[in-house]
Structure 1
Amino acid sequence: MFPLGSVLFPFMPLQLRVFEERYLTMLSHILELDPAEFGVVLIERGQEVGGGEQRFSTGTVAQIIELDTDEGFVTLVAVGERRVVVGEWLAEDPYPAATVRELPELQWDAALESLRDDAELVVRRTLALAAEYSLQQWPPDLVLSEDPVAAVWQLAGISPLGPIDQIALLRAETAEQLLTDLIEFTIAAEEALNITWPDEEV
């Protein structure tokens, strides 16, 4: 398990620069497996370097698709595959490990097309607005997957939300709930970006 300061969604890429000895050891074990996979969970409190952090229980299994080594560290690219919930954290010997159960995959209903269109409009509009204030990881015109479930997760992944909103989306039980919450959270983010601060008096 990789506890990180960000949420990984299914069908979204993850790039990591691994340098801690315990995680390098973990990678050597992962790469013996086929497919080479690991879990990602969001850190609730603490930091990812050095251990001792508290973690959220809902996470995502990531599959390694690229790997590059350099002196003292490894760079990898993985992609989110499926959601899991931690049942029990195991002794860290020497890296974080847990027993997990998989969450059901979201099922798509063609009746959700209009809701998905609304979510895409809000997410792209807010991404464009956010780009006016800071450099964003994802462009507003990013091309989404043709698979509807993958596209919904990708919309959640690119929306400029904080990790608490993201973990709530990751826990969605249905595609409808995911889209409804995504619209609500993204509109709130958009409204926060649109706040005009009054001029300070001199």
Structure 2
Amino acid sequence: MFPLGAVLLPGEELPLRVFEPRYRRMIEHCLATDGRFGVVLIERGSEVGGGDVRTDIGTVAVIDRYVRKMGGEFTLVCRGTDRVRIARWLPDDPYPIAEAELWPDEVQPAVDLIPLLAKRDEIERLAARLTRADGARPRRWPKLKLPENPVERSYYLARALPLADADRHRALAAPGPADRVYALTEALDDVIASLRFRLQ
């Protein structure tokens, strides 16, 4: 397991620089086997040195590309695949290890995306006003290309929206795609409130 100060979502790319000796050993082990490890969010503490408090929900990362530098440091590009739930943390030996199980999404009824997309549009407008107020030219946000599959679509939205890691983790922990969309829609209210406050 690789605890990080950021959330990895299924379908997301994760660049990593691995320099701590214990995690270099972990990556060596992964490269010698199936190239997979788990990523969880650190709730409290630091990525370096241990002693952190970790969440119990994470994502499987697959190593797509890597470079091993002089001295043993790794530069990796990984990809998030499946969601996992931690059943039990084991002693770090020397890196974090856990008993984990895949946690597929529940099948849930279709959900209306219009409220979420309307809030995203409002955030884009507010962000543009804030950028112009700072004397800069606002950038146009990329157009969303929503997948047909509801689970993939919900994770795509979680990756595409401007959210803090706590909100991204709530999205990851949602039981299914409808719950994930509701969580994302609620999280955008905080983003809108923050932008409006900064514009006052």
> Structures share a fold, TM > 0.5?
yes
Identity between Structure 1 and Structure 2 (%): 37
Q: Which amino acid aligns with 1:174?
A: G
Distance in structure 1 (CA, Å) of the matches to 2:126 and 2:157 = 16
Say which SS state the counterpart of residue 180 (structure 1) adopts: helix
Equivalent pairs counted in the alignment come to 190
Unpaired runs of 5+ in structure 2?
135-139
Unpaired runs of 5+ in structure 1?
none
Offset at 1:68?
1.9
Offset at 1:197?
6.4
Distance in structure 1 (CA, Å) of the matches to 2:23 and 2:121 = 36
Aligned to 2:158: 156
Distance in structure 2 (CA, Å) of the matches to 1:31 and 1:130 = 42
- Structure 1 residues 107 and 43, CA, compared in 2 at 3 Å: closer, same or farther? same
Distance in structure 2 (CA, Å) of the matches to 1:151 and 1:30 = 30
Say which SS state the counterpart of residue 193 (structure 1) adopts: helix
Q: Is the 8 A contact 1:116 1:152 kept in 2?
A: no
| RMSD of equivalent CA atoms | 2.4
TM-score w.r.t. the length of structure 1 is 0.82
Aligned to 1:7: 7
TM-score w.r.t. the length of structure 2 is 0.83
Offset at 1:193?
1.2
Moved over 6 A (4+): none
Offset at 1:4?
0.4
Distance in structure 1 (CA, Å) of the matches to 2:93 and 2:3 = 15
Q: Does 1:122 align with 2:123?
A: no
Distance in structure 1 (CA, Å) of the matches to 2:124 and 2:53 = 30
Aligned to 1:183: 185
Give a deviation string over 1:28-53, Cα, whole Å, max 9, x none: 0001223x111011101110011111
Q: Is the 8 A contact 1:127 1:140 kept in 2?
A: yes
Distance in structure 2 (CA, Å) of the matches to 1:2 and 1:177 = 26
- Structure 1 residues 142 and 12, CA, compared in 2 at 3 Å: closer, same or farther? farther
Aligned to 2:52: 53
Q: Is the 8 A contact 1:26 1:95 kept in 2?
A: yes
